[in-house]
Amino acid sequence: MTWQQWLSRGELQTHKTSRQELDALRALVRRDLADAAIAALSEDRRFATAYNAALLSATMVVACSGYRVVAKVGHHKVSLSAAALALGPEAAPFTAYFDRCRRKRNVIDYITAAVATETEADELLKLTREFNEVVERWIAQRFPVLSI
């Protein structure tokens, strides 16, 4: 899929981001990464919260690329795929993994409880932190004015 194809399907809109918007997204990522580390929460909630931090990190990439994902069915998949397209090879290890996490998170939030394991929640938290570091490095290189 290309940016143009997502635009023509109405899944993306062009968008001009700002330092303020990026910092607001960063605050959300920090909040979710911190919450996902709280051992007292259920594995499901930790997993879903860590996933949200990954999704927000992807949203930062899409915003820096000049787009906004339209909130409609499938928008998480579009966010993650579009971020992977923008980040290039460095995102490759995360792409298939986050897509699988997206599917598990859909089950957690809408279908049934006690789906995620502690092993899975710990792994997602670790890899989301790594993904966020990849995202921040990419922003620093490509859009220094928007970097931390």
Partner 1 sequence: MRKSPILEALFPGTRSAILAATILQPDRIWFLTELAGFLETQPSSLQREVDSLSRAGILRAWRDGRRLYLAANRGCPIFEHLAGLFEKTSGVVPVIQQELSALADRVACAFVFGSLARSEEGSASDIDLLVVGRLGLADLALPLERAEARLGRIINPVMFSADEFQARLERRDHFVESVMGSPRLAIFGDAHDLATVA
Minimal distance, residue 99 CB to partner 1, in Å:
7
Which one-letter DSSP state was computed for residue 111?
Answer: T
Which parts of 118-147 interact with partner 1 (CB under 8 A)? 118-120, 123-124, 127
CA distance 87 to 134: 8
- Which of 107, 109, 137, 140 contacts partner 1 by CB under 8 A? 107
Task: Please identify, among the stretches 5-13, 34-42, 79-87, 111-119, the one whose residues bind partner 1 according to the rule CB under 8 A.
Answer: 111-119
Minimal distance, residue 3 CB to partner 1, in Å:
24
Facing residues of 68 across strands? 13
When asked if residue 104 is in the footprint of partner 1 (CB under 8 A), the reply is: yes
| Cβ(77)–Cβ(70) below 8 Å | no
For residue 120, what are the CA distances in angstroms to 50, 85, 105?
A: 10, 25, 11
Which one-letter DSSP state was computed for residue 41?
Answer: S
Binding mask 23-62 for partner 1 (x = CB under 8 A): ----------------------------------------
Minimal distance, residue 105 CB to partner 1, in Å:
12
**Whose structure tokens read 């995102």?**
91
| Cβ(67)–Cβ(75) below 8 Å | no
Q: How many residues bind partner 1 (CB under 8 A)?
A: 19
List the one residue out of 59, 7, 4 whose CA is nearest residue 28. 59
Which parts of 55-94 interact with partner 1 (CB under 8 A)? 93-94
**What residues line the site for partner 1 (CB under 8 A)?**
93-94, 96-97, 99-101, 103-104, 107, 114-115, 117-120, 123-124, 127
